[in-house]
Amino acid sequence: MSDQKELVIVGAGLAGPLLSIYMAKRGHKVSVYELRADMRKSDIPAGRSINLALAERGINALREAGALSVIEDQLITMRGRMIHEHDGSQHLQPYGQKEGEVIYSVSRGELNKRLMDLAEQEHGVEFHFDHRLCSLSPESCEMEFKRSEDNDIVRITAERVMATDGGGSVVRRTMSDYSGYDSREEILPHAYKELRISADENGKHRIDGNSLHIWPRGGFMLIALPNPGGDFTVTLFLPSEGPISFVELDGPEEVRFFFQSQFPSVIPLLPDLEKDFFANPAGELGTIRSYPYHYKDKILLLGDAAHAVVPFHGQGMNCAFEDCLELDRILDQCGDNWSTAFASFSEQRKPNCDAIADMALENYLEMRDSVTDPIFLLQKKLAFELENKFPELFIPRYSMVMFHHEIPYSKAQERGEIQFEILRALTAGKKSLDEVDFEHAGKLVSEKLEPIE
Ligand SMILES: Cc1cc2nc3c(=O)[nH]c(=O)nc-3n(C[C@H](O)[C@H](O)[C@H](O)COP(=O)(O)OP(=O)(O)OC[C@H]3O[C@@H](n4cnc5c(N)ncnc54)[C@H](O)[C@@H]3O)c2cc1C
């Protein structure tokens, strides 16, 4: 495109820089405004978690933008969940069964920095740090930013605004004041706190470095994702209030007693347990459902600003990246007609983002509870078996979400519900795969499931 248009993106977290690359590649002049300092120049925390799980949807969106190669060397393969029982025993539950069905641990800071470098150096995107969006007029796209160095107000008028300013989005809150705009925030009664397992004396991981570790304990859990330096970022997910909760862990003795009684095998790996526990804040978790994601052809919300999800399916960032790719695809389809594109984006993304929000909530139960349940384990084995026997009809739901970007989230949810009923019927009263009637399985699968497109 030849005519250069001023497009402002608010928020340079994970989605903002990738979106800026997509939009610059379409020929737009893009400026990104970010409230924090430039993390490439100052030592500031990268955001809500130190590392994250990157899966096929996110990888595909990075690849399509030509951005995958800048981060590939930082990705650590995680082939499955390593379940840590109370007695210290461990067993691996592979995520998938085919070549390449793995997910990756990646540093949030490193990914964010490298995407900003690419946007700035290769695509001419301008970044303005230390600029906090304070107000926005949706009709005129006039914005007021507060600059942190001098508290001055900077006024900017854009042709249109794309908001990737995260779960607390000022843009979404402004849109909420407009009639016809619906926004709901559901805070989870559980919070999270990050701790750290350091590398061993040789800089190696002290527990398996290619797994996502889980210590499931029913109402709560501990997880750990590997980092390239040999350390792990550990996250405790726990109710905020109640008998076993963050509120109750209000002193070093309470914390040590809790870990000793619930996670005894982790204690030797956490020499700084009490120090880390009280140094790191407990973070809130929640789901945001809003609609529509746009205002006329002026404003579009993407990523957490439109649809934050709880982190238990490891899909918030992946979904935010998929938003960027989907917008690009829709713009192609509608010949860069912004008002059609924004309306289509809202309409097409809404069912998918709602679906991943639901599945992420369900996955919390699975991770903290079901992963040790014999029925769940039998159904998981059977799901892999059905995928082998009927590959064009049956793909386990987890695999559809994590490894199949061509299957929309809403389809994965819909098929997943039917598949769950099939798995339940086939495993009722059974203890092992040998007892499953595969002839009946074949009938059920072909009766109830359409072939996968
Ligand atoms: C504990 C935890 C673990 C997670 N793990 C995973 C995982 O494993 N896999 C996964 O896919 N997802 C994960 N997520 C979700 C993921 O972090 C988010 O979905 C992702 O960061 C969304 O990207 P975003 O760009 O929309 O928002 P953010 O990354 O939150 O970026 C928003 C940006 O906007 C800026 N901003 C905010 N307000 C303003 C303002 N007024 N003016 C200017 N700038 C502003 C912020 O400073 C920030 O830089 C996890 C989340 C949490 C909390």
Q: Which atom of ligand 1 is nearest to the CA of 33?
A: 43
pLDDT at residue 366, rounded to an integer: 86
In the chain, pLDDT over 90 holds for what percent of residues? 93
pLDDT at residue 45, rounded to an integer: 81
pLDDT at residue 372, rounded to an integer: 85
pLDDT band at 1 (very low <50, low <70, confident <90, very high): very low
pLDDT of 265 strictly over 50: yes
Q: Round the average pLDDT of the chain to a whole number and report it.
A: 96
pLDDT of 77 strictly over 90: yes
Cα angle for residues 241, 83, 236 (degrees, 5° grid):
25
**Residue among 304, 310, 313, 322 to mutate when testing ligand 1 (max atoms within 8 A of CB):** 304
Residue 73 per-residue DSSP state: G
19 membership: H or E segment, kind and range? helix 15-25
pLDDT at residue 2, rounded to an integer: 37
Note if the pTM is more than 0.75: yes
pLDDT of 17 strictly over 90: yes
Q: Which atom of ligand 1 is nearest to the CA of 52?
A: 8
Mean pLDDT of 97-110: 97
Query: Do residues 187 and 36 lie in contact, with contact meaning Cβ atoms separated by under 8 Å?
Result: no
According to DSSP, the β-strands at 232-239 and 221-226 are antiparallel
Q: Which atom of ligand 1 is nearest to the CA of 225?
A: 8
pLDDT of 360 strictly over 50: yes
**Residue among 22, 49, 127, 322 to mutate when testing ligand 1 (max atoms within 8 A of CB):** 49
Q: Which atom of ligand 1 is nearest to the CA of 317?
A: 11
Structure tokens at 191: 């919070």
pLDDT of 4 strictly over 80: no
According to DSSP, the β-strands at 90-94 and 76-78 are unpaired
- Say how many Å lie between the CA of residue 13 and the centre of ligand 1: 6
Alpha carbon nearest to ligand 1 atom 19, residue? 316
Mean pLDDT of 407-421: 98
Structure tokens at 217: 């304990």
pLDDT at residue 235, rounded to an integer: 97
pLDDT at residue 49, rounded to an integer: 83
Question: pLDDT by residue (tens digit) across 281-312?
Answer: 999 999 999 999 999 999 999 999 999 999 99
Structure tokens at 120: 């700035």
3-state helix, strand, coil in the chain (%, to 5): 40, 25, 35
- Say how many Å lie between the CA of residue 316 and the centre of ligand 1: 8
pLDDT of 62 strictly over 80: yes
- Say how many Å lie between the CA of residue 192 and the centre of ligand 1: 15
Structure tokens at 383: 């799901």
Question: pLDDT by residue (tens digit) across 224-263?
Answer: 999 999 999 999 999 999 999 999 999 999 999 999 999 9
Query: Do residues 323 and 15 lie in contact, with contact meaning Cβ atoms separated by under 8 Å?
Result: yes
- Say how many Å lie between the CA of residue 304 and the centre of ligand 1: 6
pLDDT of 134 strictly over 90: yes
Alpha carbon nearest to ligand 1 atom 29, residue? 13
pLDDT of 78 strictly over 50: yes
Question: pLDDT by residue (tens digit) across 150-199?
Answer: 999 999 999 999 999 999 999 999 998 877 889 999 999 999 999 999 99
**Residue among 52, 162, 364 to mutate when testing ligand 1 (max atoms within 8 A of CB):** 52
Mean pLDDT of 24-53: 93
Q: Which atom of ligand 1 is nearest to the CA of 235?
A: 1
- Say how many Å lie between the CA of residue 22 and the centre of ligand 1: 19
Residue ranges per structural domain of the chain = 6-77+106-185+285-363, 187-283, 373-448
Q: List, chain by chain if needed, residues with CB within 6 Å of any ligand 1 atom.
A: 10-16, 33-36, 47-49, 52-53, 132-133, 164-166, 168, 170, 192, 283, 303-305, 311, 314-318, 320
pLDDT of 384 strictly over 70: yes
Q: Which atom of ligand 1 is nearest to the CA of 131?
A: 43
pLDDT band at 367 (very low <50, low <70, confident <90, very high): confident
Q: Which atom of ligand 1 is nearest to the CA of 167?
A: 30
Mean pLDDT of 7-25: 98
Q: In sequence order, what E strands does 108-178 have? A: 126-128, 131-137, 142-147, 153-157, 160-163
Pick the closest to residue 8 from 153, 161, 170 (CA basis). Answer: 161
Q: 438-445, long-range: CB within 8 Å, 24+ apart, which pairs? A: 438/385, 438/389, 441/382, 441/386, 441/389, 442/389, 442/390, 445/386, 445/390, 445/393, 445/394
User: In the CATH scheme, what is the homologous superfamily, with its name and number, of domain 6-77+106-185+285-363?
Assistant: FAD/NAD(P)-binding domain (3.50.50.60)
- Say how many Å lie between the CA of residue 48 and the centre of ligand 1: 6
Pick the closest to residue 15 from 304, 352, 294 (CA basis). Answer: 304
In the chain, pLDDT over 70 holds for what percent of residues? 99
SS3 labels along 307-336: HCCCHHHCCHHHHHHHHHHHHHHHHHHCCC
Which amino acid makes up residue 436? V
